[in-house]
Structure 1
Amino acid sequence: MRPQIFARYRPGRLARNGTILLGWMLLRASMQAATVVWLARQLGAQTYGQFVAVVAVSSFFSPFVGLGLSHILLRNAARDPAHAGHYLARALRWWLRTLLPCVAASVVVALWLLPERIALQALIVVAAAELSATSLTELCARHLQAQQRTHAFGAVHAGLPGVRLAAVGLLWASMGDAGIVAVLWTYAASGLIYAGLLWRPLRAAAKAPDAVLPEPMTARSGLPFSLAVFAAKLQSEFNKPMLAQAGFGLAGTYNVAQRVVDMASLPVLALQEALWPRLYAQANPVRQLLRTGAALLVLALAMGVALWLVAPVLPVMFGADFADAVAVLRMLAWLPLLQVLRALLNCHAIHYGRMQQIGWAYAIGGVVSVVSVAVLAPVYGLTGAVWASYAAEVTMVVFFLLSVLRKYQYSG
């Protein structure tokens, strides 16, 4: 068994796949960056903050569209490629069943959290577009990732921001000075168009969903992953409507700093995404996880140093309205280090089948995120939102570490 494991572990191939994926992620990031810079400079901190608050609230329930089965699809199709179409069909069936309830929930939460009312029709369309486009992109990408089609996986993820950037460009070319309503409708229309482009090839690749399959895939099997992504979504997006309560400008400022961190994290994320399907396909991936994980942590630390150094450039890029984003970026610079550690511990838990612990870890992290943002952001503003992000990550990392220690205590 051991020689087989080392035969399957090829660092050169992992690095090559990671480099290919990084190229697609850089393309995706450049289009996202262009969209963020364009909207921030054109709208200003106040109106841009209103835009990001609406989109953030609309995206809260995207992890529950499809019940997290995209992650089970990745695992099962990587292990059992002969039945990949059947796993895909089952995931698509639950995607259809959960889309409308999640759209309705998103609209209700938006009406509750946003301090200023947006037209109900616009909220419904934005929620439907955001939820369908992001969740279907994830489902399609995981289907391709399971086949280790790295170029296609990267292209699907890059397509959505590309369509959105093109739509925003057409909006300003045709209208010049666009308001918040026009931007929201354009953003929603581009998302719906992309979701439609993904739907047809997915339906064509799907086979009978009720076939007897070697790997388990029930409606509940992906819920721990839904909770995990939902907790991450709350941590990254719930601060927007809470900051908007004090002023939309605060939400816009925080979003700019956060997006810079997201873009800088792409090399680490690319290596992680290239690593996961290889680990799932191995009988004993712990050694590779330890070696590659150590390298990822060092890379995340170096990235944090770089972010701290380049933070003063933000007002030049986004405009003087975003001067406060410098301090926010420097505070957020070390968050990816914790996120990488949490992702590695999450992979360790999946390998040992501790799925319920994963669900509990992210559920607790989500609660900590919501409570800490609700308590700290109204009092301490941007600094409180940053503290809340760290509090949620530390909580989840500690929970996973305690689970690992208990496992080795019982096995010893």
Structure 2
Amino acid sequence: MTRLRDRGVSILQWRPGTLVRHGKVTLGWMLLRAGTQAAMVVLLARVLGASAYGQVIAVLATASLVVSFAGLGLSHIVLRNAARDPTHEAVYFVLARRWWGMTLAPCIVAAVVIATMLLPGNLPALAACVAIAAEIAAVSFTELCARHRQAQQDMHAFGAIQAGLPLLRLGTMIVLLPSSHAVSATMVLWAYAASGLAYTAFLYRRLNVTAGLKSAAATEVMCATSGLPFSLAVFATKLQAEFNKPVLAQTSFILAGNYNVAQRVVDMASLPLMALQEALWPRLYAQPDPMHQLRRTGLALIAVALLLSTALWLAAPLLPALLGESFANTVEVLRWLAWLPLLQAFRALLNFHAIHQGRMRMIGWAYALGATVSVAGVTTLVPIFGMIGAVVVGYVAEMAMITALIRPNKTRLK
């Protein structure tokens, strides 16, 4: 009876209007970010063509493989801990920022080594290395600063920080293009590097937080390895999404360019779903028994994912008219990838359930399995089947992670 009464009080205290309002705010910023990224994709694809565009995204893809380990995934722990212990939020953020600084250089070195091993030799070496370093620094620190504001449930700041980097890059390209007679992959890589470093410096100066409270007073655990399961999760997701591009580039930069466009369209179409999820997580973390809301909201998230997938499949034939005929193969790839958001939404719900039960290690193992399947599948299938092989590996890796997250918990969510 006590448990039922507590659950009834929790339900009565829950205000869906707040979640919807936060979701709308987050969605608004995500739509701005998506519009900016879409404009960048269209701009670069039309100016560079599929081959040179493939060179740029192949370089950036190698950076994304390592970026989750810059900071050791502690940005996610900042969100979780601050939702539970808001008084010491600054303590958690400063500690995470310190580890970000210590891990940045090793991650850059690792990414450059990976790029040297995976990418063809006909790329601008210096521009590629600097762009990789700037990408890792900018993306990882943007994530940390955004989670810092999300933990405070300041969804305007959370969205603005995430939208700022693509806005700056688009502005840089708009200024650069009219002043250049011929735009090359090398020029774009330098522009990415300059804008990424500038944004990182801006955020570091703007969010110069100091922890006035002693870390010993913080009630939540936060050691260096606390966020590694999240790092592995993001790494596996990036590996699944990005490892195929350097491998495709070994066959043809055109294939890498076409596949990347299809993936970016799927990512941008999934933003309403992501906005609802990002607004939901801090509210669920703050509840002692969030399972009722997780079940109810989870069904709505799956329904939204189904609608988005259907819209993607129907809209796919419009891409060549927008980007040019060199991207004609993108239509078929996009239709193959259109149903992936359904699996990703379900996996996100399973992630939260595992976190709530304290099965953090299982998350790491599940995503390590996904990473292993991705590498083995891409290495085996992409050289033979090209983009079809990359699509198949994407679905197989998602199913492997979902299976691993479900198996230890054979009972219903309760």
Taking structure 1 as the reference length, the TM-score comes to: 0.97
Q: 1:374 maps to which residue?
A: 379
Question: Which ranges of 4 or more aligned residues in structure 1 deviate by more than 4 Å?
Answer: 205-210
CA distance in structure 1 between the aligned counterparts of 2:256 and 2:405, rounded to whole angstroms = 31
Contact 1:90/1:209 (<8 A) preserved:
no
Displacement after TM superposition at 1:284 (Å):
0.5
1:196 to 198, 201, 204: 201
CA distance in structure 2 between the aligned counterparts of 1:224 and 1:387, rounded to whole angstroms = 25
CA distance in structure 2 between the aligned counterparts of 1:208 and 1:377, rounded to whole angstroms = 52
CA distance in structure 1 between the aligned counterparts of 2:207 and 2:104, rounded to whole angstroms = 16
Contact 1:9/1:288 (<8 A) preserved:
no
Displacement after TM superposition at 1:403 (Å):
1.8
CA distance in structure 2 between the aligned counterparts of 1:267 and 1:192, rounded to whole angstroms = 29
Alignment of 1:324-339 (within 5 A): 324-339=329-344
Percent identity over the alignment? Answer: 57
Contact 1:86/1:211 (<8 A) preserved:
no
Q: Is 1:287 aligned with 2:327?
A: no
Contact 1:64/1:102 (<8 A) preserved:
yes
Q: Is 1:6 aligned with 2:11?
A: yes
1:62 aligned partner, one-letter code: V
Q: 2:254 maps to which residue?
A: 249
Contact 1:111/1:117 (<8 A) preserved:
no
Q: Is 1:164 aligned with 2:180?
A: no
Is the deviation greater in 183-192 or in 5-14?
Answer: 5-14
Q: 2:399 maps to which residue?
A: 394
1:341 to 337, 341, 346: 346
Q: 1:99 maps to which residue?
A: 104
Q: Is 1:322 aligned with 2:311?
A: no
1:166-220 CA distance string (max 9 Å, x none): 1111110211321111110011100111111110133335456754421000000
Contact 1:89/1:207 (<8 A) preserved:
no
Contact 2:319/2:327 (<8 A) preserved:
yes
Displacement after TM superposition at 1:127 (Å):
1.6
1:155 to 160, 167, 170: 160
2:138 aligned partner, one-letter code: A
Q: Is 1:28 aligned with 2:59?
A: no
1:274 to 279, 285, 305: 279
Is the deviation greater in 170-179 or in 390-399?
Answer: 170-179
Q: 2:304 maps to which residue?
A: 299
Structure 2 segments unaligned to the other structure (5+ residues): 1-5
1:364 aligned partner, one-letter code: L
1:130-151 CA distance string (max 9 Å, x none): 0110011100010100111011
CA distance in structure 1 between the aligned counterparts of 2:13 and 2:116, rounded to whole angstroms = 51
Contact 2:88/2:213 (<8 A) preserved:
no
Alignment of 1:43-62 (within 5 A): 43-62=48-67
Is the deviation greater in 3-12 or in 383-392?
Answer: 3-12
Contact 1:73/1:87 (<8 A) preserved:
yes
1:81 to 77, 86, 99: 86
Contact 1:87/1:209 (<8 A) preserved:
no
CA distance in structure 1 between the aligned counterparts of 2:8 and 2:77, rounded to whole angstroms = 28
Q: Is 1:145 aligned with 2:145?
A: no
Q: 2:3 maps to which residue?
A: none
Q: 1:353 maps to which residue?
A: 358
Contact 1:14/1:274 (<8 A) preserved:
yes
Structure 1 segments unaligned to the other structure (5+ residues): none
1:2-48 CA distance string (max 9 Å, x none): 23321342212111111111111000000000000000000000110
CA distance in structure 2 between the aligned counterparts of 1:328 and 1:208, rounded to whole angstroms = 52
CA distance in structure 1 between the aligned counterparts of 2:73 and 2:164, rounded to whole angstroms = 21
CA distance in structure 1 between the aligned counterparts of 2:217 and 2:126, rounded to whole angstroms = 42
2:18 aligned partner, one-letter code: R
Contact 2:78/2:147 (<8 A) preserved:
yes
Contact 1:61/1:230 (<8 A) preserved:
yes
Contact 2:30/2:271 (<8 A) preserved:
yes
2:276 aligned partner, one-letter code: L
CA distance in structure 1 between the aligned counterparts of 2:112 and 2:86, rounded to whole angstroms = 38
Q: Secondary structure at the match of 2:25?
A: helix
Contact 1:89/1:208 (<8 A) preserved:
no
Aligned residues: 409
CA distance in structure 2 between the aligned counterparts of 1:351 and 1:204, rounded to whole angstroms = 29
Label 1:211 to 1:117 Cα distance change in 2 as closer, same or farther (>3 A).
farther
Is the deviation greater in 138-147 or in 118-127?
Answer: 118-127
2:104 aligned partner, one-letter code: L
CA distance in structure 2 between the aligned counterparts of 1:74 and 1:7, rounded to whole angstroms = 25
Displacement after TM superposition at 1:124 (Å):
2.7
RMSD (Å), alpha carbons? 1.5
1:127 aligned partner, one-letter code: I
Displacement after TM superposition at 1:324 (Å):
0.4
CA distance in structure 1 between the aligned counterparts of 2:29 and 2:103, rounded to whole angstroms = 30
Contact 1:137/1:157 (<8 A) preserved:
yes
CA distance in structure 1 between the aligned counterparts of 2:199 and 2:36, rounded to whole angstroms = 15
